[in-house]
Structure 1
Amino acid sequence: MQPNLLMIEDDTELAEILSNFLKRYNIYVTNYEDPYLGISALNLKKYDLLILDLSLPGMDGLEICKEIRSKSDIPIIISSARSDLEDKIVGLELGADDYLPKPYEPKELYARIMSVLRRYKKSNNPHEETPMALQLKEESHTIFFQGTPLTLTPAEFDVLAHLIKKNNCVVSRAELLGSALSLNEENESRSLDVLISRIRTKLGESSKEPKLIHSIRGIGYRLQA
């Protein structure tokens, strides 16, 4: 299958460079400089993924992300020169699947596209689904890992439970801290990092080779269970 991508990018030179590069990998891109035309294109044709700039004429990219996500589950990669951390967090919370700050190498965009498409395909194809490695049983306040209940502190449970509920989504540090109601009881420095480290240990993984809990630099964490 040859992926067909929609791009909303007003930098026509960049759009052409990216389109030509991705074509080498049989990925075809249709770009719109006008965000309104780009949104309309989604109603006329099925695309496999959207590459979205934030600084666009006439409409902010975050508003576009919000509007598209309200009516479509198309994977979205934000490609933006806006380096404000708040933009990254808001974009991901509005439903973007990834955020790639400019400038970047086209090869990195290709890698991000393939990663997002793999996750999307897996989550939307019931025939390929496998049982989650982690299962949350809220009624018994228990989390099972590969069928075995984990021994967790209250704060560890709160953080891991929240990640499970947001499986495959990037969760900001602030959101995770807010989810851990018992965090203050532990009084640890760099409390969230310490908690994540302890949880990883109990899942048998390390920060250098994570399989389940992935650090998203400058933003937070993503669980892929």
Structure 2
Amino acid sequence: MKNVLVVDDDPTVSEVLAGYLQRAGFAVRRAADGPTALTSARAHRPDLVVLDLMLPGMDGLTVCRELRSHGPLPVIMLTARSDEEDRILGLEVGADDYVTKPFSPRELVLRVTSVLRRAGTADAAGPVLRAAGFDVDPAARRALHHGRELALTLREFDLLCYFLRHPGQVCGRERLMQEVWGWEFGDLSTVTVHVRRLRAKIEDDPARPCLIQTVWGVGYRFDPRPEDAAHPDERP
């Protein structure tokens, strides 16, 4: 049974979410503020956190940063704001997904299930991927670049694996959302933010990316450097 920590200062929202998640087979803990959430997460490491952006005392962005500083942990951000800047801020600090209030509890459960499925099984059966200085083990969810271990979020790791498996191909944001996120629809700015975050971690100069290139009006293309093979080497 997967453990989910729900962090929201609205007791009605928290209770409804907990009820839906429990009926879906999850074990649920609840917290009404940031410090309580961090204490709970340290005492009982959750498999995923549903985290409200607007919390008393310590906002959700700060809580998310603190949670992720202790290792990879899937986070779904809740926000009552529809402003794109707020959604992007959540993704920038490492949230794997976000849901805007008001929302359907059933949709939230589907998002939780999707994120956990990606965290637990996505790419797990694939071989090690090697190209452009990368050594990525999908089963261990470990990525090295020129021998340096990369600290990647769930989606960043999956995105890197996808690019490594499709070198030289132009991938539109819609395709990436379907193949990496497993969604048929959604806010495409989610893809844009994650590509930007991934570039910041793997490019020598993120402002002038060489590995993940933008194909204007179409999407992105992963180009291994000329001295590397055109296709990733795979070994058992």
TM-score > 0.5, shorter chain as reference:
yes
Larger Rg: 1
Q: C-alpha separation between the residues in 1 aligned to 2:90 and 2:50?
A: 13
Superposition pairs of residues 93-172 of structure 1, within 5 angstroms = 93-122=92-121, 128-131=124-127, 136-137=131-132, 145=165, 150=168, 170-172=191-193
Secondary structure at 2:98 match in 1 = strand
Q: C-alpha separation between the residues in 2 aligned to 1:41 and 1:173?
A: 28
Match of 1:70 in 2: 69
Match of 1:42 in 2: 41
> TM-score, normalized by length of structure 2?
0.60
What CA deviation, in whole Å up to 9, does each residue of 1:174-197 have, x standing for no partner?
93895557xxxx9xxxx633245x
1:193 matches 2:230:
no
The amino acid of 1:172's aligned partner reads V
Q: C-alpha separation between the residues in 2 aligned to 1:30 and 1:3?
A: 11
Unaligned runs of 5+ in 1: 200-225
Secondary structure at 2:76 match in 1 = strand
Secondary structure at 1:109 match in 2 = helix
Q: C-alpha separation between the residues in 2 aligned to 1:129 and 1:29?
A: 29
Match of 1:31 in 2: 30
What CA deviation, in whole Å up to 9, does each residue of 1:94-132 have, x standing for no partner?
111111111111110011001100111126xx9x33137
Deviates more, 1:98-107 or 1:81-90: 81-90
Match of 1:91 in 2: 90
Shift in Å at residue 72 of structure 1?
2.8
Given that residues 92 and 170 in structure 1 are in contact (C-alpha distance below 8 angstroms), is that contact kept between their aligned partners in structure 2?
Answer: no
The amino acid of 2:92's aligned partner reads E
Secondary structure at 1:90 match in 2 = helix
Higher helix share: 1
Shift in Å at residue 9 of structure 1?
0.3
Q: C-alpha separation between the residues in 1 aligned to 2:76 and 2:51?
A: 6
**Percent identity at matched positions?**
36
Given that residues 54 and 82 in structure 1 are in contact (C-alpha distance below 8 angstroms), is that contact kept between their aligned partners in structure 2?
Answer: no
| Structure 1 residues 192 and 49, CA gap change in structure 2 (3 angstroms) | same
> TM-score, normalized by length of structure 1?
0.63
Secondary structure at 1:13 match in 2 = helix
Secondary structure at 1:92 match in 2 = helix
Secondary structure at 1:46 match in 2 = coil
Match of 1:19 in 2: 18
The amino acid of 1:77's aligned partner reads I
Shift in Å at residue 144 of structure 1?
6.6
Unaligned runs of 5+ in 2: 135-162, 182-189, 200-205, 222-236
The amino acid of 1:82's aligned partner reads R
Shift in Å at residue 18 of structure 1?
1.2
| Structure 1 residues 193 and 50, CA gap change in structure 2 (3 angstroms) | same
Match of 2:184 in 1: none
Shift in Å at residue 6 of structure 1?
0.6
Shift in Å at residue 80 of structure 1?
1.2
The amino acid of 2:108's aligned partner reads L
Given that residues 6 and 18 in structure 2 are in contact (C-alpha distance below 8 angstroms), is that contact kept between their aligned partners in structure 1?
Answer: no
Shift in Å at residue 62 of structure 1?
0.6
| Structure 1 residues 178 and 193, CA gap change in structure 2 (3 angstroms) | farther
Shift in Å at residue 171 of structure 1?
3.7
Q: C-alpha separation between the residues in 1 aligned to 2:65 and 2:88?
A: 13
| Aligned Cα root-mean-square deviation (Å) | 3.8
Secondary structure at 1:71 match in 2 = coil
